[in-house]
Structure 1
Amino acid sequence: LPPGIPFPTDQFKELLDELPTPLLILGDFNCKNTIWGSPILTSQEQEPTYTRGQELLDSIEPHHLNILNTGKLTFFRSNNLYHSHLDLSIGSPEICNNLFWDTEPDPHNSHHYPIIISHSLENIYTQKPVKWNFYKTSQADLNNFSKSINLPHMDNITNATETCSTLINHIFEVANQHIKKTSPNINTKYFNPWWNEDCAKAIKEKKKKLRTLNRCYSPQNLIAFKKAASKSRYTIRNAKHLSW
Structure 2
Amino acid sequence: MTRIPVQQFPKCEIVGFTITFSIKTKIDVYSIYCPDGNESILNLLHYLSKRRNHCIIGGDFNGHSPRWSNSHLSNKIGREISSFLTNSDNLTLLTPKNFPTRIDPVTRKKSTLDLTIMSSQLAHSTSIKLGPHLGSDHLPIIFKLQTKEKIIKQKIQPKWKYKEKEWPKWNESITRKLSEKKFIESENPQEAFNIFHESVLESSKETFILNTEVRCSKNINKPWWNEECSKKIAEYRRAWKKYTKWPTPENRTEYNRAMALKKKTIREAEKKRLG
Normalising by structure 1, we get a TM-score of 0.79
Match of 1:8 among 36, 41, 50: 41
Q: 1:14 to 1:112 in 2, by over 3 A?
A: same
**C-alpha displacement at 1:148, in angstroms?**
4.3
Which of 43, 55, 62 is the equivalent residue of 2:80? 55
8 Å CA contact 2:63, 2:113 repeated in 1? yes
Matched position secondary structure for 1:23: strand
Say which of 178, 183, 193 aligns to 1:164: 193
Higher strand share: 2
- Mark the runs of 5 or more structure 1 residues left unpaired by the alignment: 42-46
Q: How far 1:220 moved relative to its partner?
A: 3.1
CA contact (8 A) 2:163 2:208 kept: no
The aligned length equals: 231
Give yes or no for the alignment of 1:185 onto 2:213.
Answer: yes
Distance change >3 Å, CA 139–CA 111, structure 1 → 2: farther
User: In 2, Cα distance between the equivalents of 1:143 and 1:155?
Assistant: 21
Counterpart of 2:260 (choices 218, 230, 237) is: 230
Counterpart secondary structure, 1:63? coil
More helix by share: 1
User: Residue 170 of structure 2 corresponds to which residue in structure 1?
Assistant: 145
1:44 is matched with: none
What 5-or-longer segments of structure 2 have no aligned partner? 1-33
Change (3 A) 1:226 1:149: same
Question: Contact between 1:67 and 1:91, CA under 8 Å: does it hold in 2?
Answer: yes
1: CA distance between counterparts of 2:90 and 2:70? 22
TM-fit CA distance, 1:119:
3.4
CA RMSD of aligned residues (A): 2.9
**Higher-RCO chain (CA-CA 8 Å, sequence separation at least 6):** 1
Contact 1:38/1:85 (<8 A) preserved: no
Once the two structures are TM-superposed, the CA of residue 199 in structure 1 deviates from its matched residue by 2.5
Q: Which amino acid aligns with 2:237?
A: K
* C-alpha distance 179-28 of structure 1, shift in aligned 2 (>3 A): same
CA distance in 1, matches of 2:93, 2:216: 29
